[in-house]
Amino acid sequence: MNRRNRAVRLRTLQRMAEKAETMGNTVLAKGLLEQAAKEVGNAYTNRRELSGPKGGPMQVRTLADFYGG
């Protein structure tokens, strides 16, 4: 995800939340702030971290290992 795009989205969400709050729409403002928090917390990325037992490195096995080759 591009940092510049994230910054633009966050500024837009901030403006929208401020406007919603001044209009008295606290439910919308809350939702927009939650959206911004998810954006900052990388809730919308496809990144996955995998680990082995007890958080250690994963054991890498090839098909040759599996079939005894």
Residue-wise pLDDT for 2-44, tens only, equals: 778 889 999 999 999 999 999 999 999 999 999 998 888 876 6
Give Dmax over CA atoms of the chain in angstroms.
70
- Contacts of the segment 42-51: beta carbons below 8 A, 24+ positions apart: 44/1, 45/1
Could you tell me which of 14, 60, 56 has the C-alpha nearest to residue 39?
Answer: 14
* Placement of tokens 């080759």 in the chain: 69
The answer, yes or no, to whether residue 1 has pLDDT greater than 70, is no
